[in-house]
Amino acid sequence: MNASVTSRRPLVTPRIFTVDDLDTDTIVGELLEGVGAVTLRGLFGTDEIAEAREIVMRESSGDAEAAKVTHFQGAAEREGKLSLQRRVWNLLAKGDVFSRMAAHPALMQTMRAFLGTEFIMGSIAANRILPGGPGQEPHIDYPYWDYHTPQTHPVRLNSSFPLNAQATIMLDPFTEETGATAYVPGSQRSLRYPDESDRFFDRCERMLGEPGDTVVFFGAVWHCAMPNHSRADRSAILIQYLPKWVKPMENIPAALPSSFVDAASSDMRQLLGLHYPYPEILDAARGGNAEGRTTMQTK
């Protein structure tokens, strides 16, 4: 028998759910104690994906000088390849399709179970990796993303409860050749920034899927975009969800026109953090009792 076959590790893939069999209790267990990720198969239809992709390609086509901020791309910057991974920020202002994606009922239901009923959105952006684009540094996501300096975080911070969830909506096929996101299953259980001794690339699996699929994962999972060795783009919408009291990465409301905010649905206002009043100038706040166990019962 071929030795290479007998020594191959068993494939570990995220569990697959659809809108029809969404089980948030099982999903929460998978994110916290399982591999750390799940796939929501076919969450978005062909027309929505095509619309989103056309906007992303148009908005990123003029960024050949890599003028937009990106993250975990230090090696690419040193090698002069930074423009082969392009970001598109402030997506809510660039097309209604992105509002529909961010507030999709299946994502809202999942995030309410995982992050609390009043969770918010910390960021929504597109990531486009062009052919030849290099991969990222293995990392964990905001607010853990600078945990390579743990002394700047609270003592005994751990992953027994989540401060982040990520949704990756695939606009192109995610294959090994196109650079599908790599991750180490179960690495979220011990909150730590990966280093070279962790042998990330020897242990990692891939988040594979087709356009319209969405991978939801706990941001404490070690992961990174991989190099795109194909002749096609590999693009995705990246949405960051947070508990209501975690400071968001993007100041999304400030980047939006007032007309968008004024017309926002209740779900979108929640995602923008507008249902949660803090920080507040309490010296100028309306008088009277504002908080406490019985407050909601008396209003």
What pLDDT score was predicted for residue 4? 41
In a domain, 197, yes or no: yes
Q: DSSP letter at 271?
A: H
Q: What is the pLDDT of residues 29-45, one digit of tens each?
A: 999 999 999 999 999 99
Domain that holds residue 68: 19-276
What pLDDT score was predicted for residue 288? 82
CATH of the domain at 188: 2.60.120.620
What pLDDT score was predicted for residue 75? 64
Q: DSSP letter at 212?
A: T
Q: What is the pLDDT along the chain (299 residues), one digit of tens a residue?
A: 444 444 455 667 899 999 999 999 999 999 999 999 999 999 999 999 999 999 999 999 876 665 665 665 656 666 666 678 889 999 999 999 999 999 999 999 999 999 999 999 999 999 999 999 988 899 999 999 999 999 999 999 999 999 999 999 999 999 999 999 999 999 999 999 999 999 999 999 999 999 999 999 999 999 999 999 999 999 999 999 999 999 999 999 999 999 999 999 999 999 999 999 899 888 888 888 878 877 655 55
In a domain, 6, yes or no: no
What pLDDT score was predicted for residue 143? 97
- What is the 3-state composition of the chain as percent helix, strand, coil, each rounded to the nearest 5? 30, 15, 50
In a domain, 167, yes or no: yes
Contact 187, 222 (CB under 8 A): yes
Measure the CA–CA gap between 169 and 78, rounded to whole angstroms.
Answer: 29
In a domain, 295, yes or no: no
Question: Which one, of 35, 19, 31, lies nearest residue 109 by Cα?
Answer: 19
In a domain, 108, yes or no: yes
Count of domains observed in the chain:
1
Measure the CA–CA gap between 271 and 2, rounded to whole angstroms.
Answer: 52
In a domain, 194, yes or no: yes
Measure the CA–CA gap between 168 and 235, rounded to whole angstroms.
Answer: 10
Measure the CA–CA gap between 14 and 12, rounded to whole angstroms.
Answer: 7
Measure the CA–CA gap between 13 and 237, rounded to whole angstroms.
Answer: 21
In a domain, 3, yes or no: no
In a domain, 64, yes or no: yes
